[in-house]
Amino acid sequence: MAVSPTTCFGPKAEMSILETNQYLLSELEKCKQNFRDLTEKFLTSKATAYSLANQCEECKDLIESVLEEELQFQERELAELLRAAARLWIHDPLIQAQAKELTHSQQKIQEGRGVCYLFTQHVKNTVKSFEGLLRKTGIARDRDSVSKWYKESS
């Protein structure tokens, strides 16, 4: 035989049990809602993590591709530099011979400048000596014409 809660605890106790039951049911609903919210957040986080992992993989592939292209570019540049160096190495004796000839020509030009300077000084000294000789001999007219000729020529 079942005993009703009213007989054991009375009407006030029955109300208290009903209120407690209602309170516990509302708390259960809140917990269920919290569980659903947490489950939704977990699934969203999990999807985000998979998405980020895929993006990282794509970035990794992109970075590897760029680095591989950079390496190929550098290899092509190095190969071109080596070809250019090989061409220069072939022409190196010719370039050295031309450089030696150029240096020799520069030395000759410097010597020529020195000789020209000395010759100019010699000519000036000769003219002065000649003018002095003309002055001493009294040929003023010839001296003026020589001076005029000298000034016009220099």
Exposed, middle or buried by CB within 10 Å (0-12, 13-18, 19+), for 143? middle
Q: How far is CA 47 from CA 50, 55, 108, 116, in A?
A: 5, 12, 85, 93
> How would DSSP label each residue in 85-140?
HHHHHHHHHHHHHHHHHHHHHHHHHHHHHHHHHHHHHHHHHHHHHHHHHHHHHT-H
What does the pLDDT read at residue 36? 92
Q: Which pLDDT band, with edges at 50, 70 and 90, does 1 fall under?
A: very low
The CA distance from 120 to 150, in Å, is 12
Separation between Cα atoms, residue 4 and residue 11, nearest integer Å: 11
CB 150 within 8 A of CB 129: no
Residue 154 DSSP class = -
Residue 29: which pLDDT band, with cuts at 50, 70 and 90?
A: very high
Q: In angstroms, rounded to a whole number, what is the distance separating the alpha carbons of residues 146 and 135?
A: 12
pLDDT at 120 exceeding the cut of 70: yes
